[in-house]
Amino acid sequence: MKEKKDKQLEDFTCHIMKSAALQSPSQNFTAKVMMQALAPKKSQLTVYRPLIPNWVFALLLAFFMAAFIFLPEYSPPHTKVWLSYTGFSTFFDLARPVFFKFSKMASYTTAFATLMFFVQIFVLKKYFQYKLKTTALHHEM
Q: Which of the given ranges, 21-25, 76-80, 110-114, has the highest pLDDT on average?
A: 110-114
Q: Which of the given ranges, 39-48, 96-105, 130-139, has the highest pLDDT on average?
A: 130-139
Q: Which residues contact 110 (CB under 8 A, 6 or more apart)?
A: 102
Mean pLDDT of 1-11: 82
Encode pLDDT of 39-56 as tens digits.
Answer: 777 666 677 788 888 999
Mean pLDDT of 16-20: 72
Encode pLDDT of 54-98 as tens digits.
Answer: 999 999 999 988 887 777 666 666 555 555 555 555 555 555 555
Angle value at C-alpha 136, between 135 and 140, nearest 5 degrees: 120
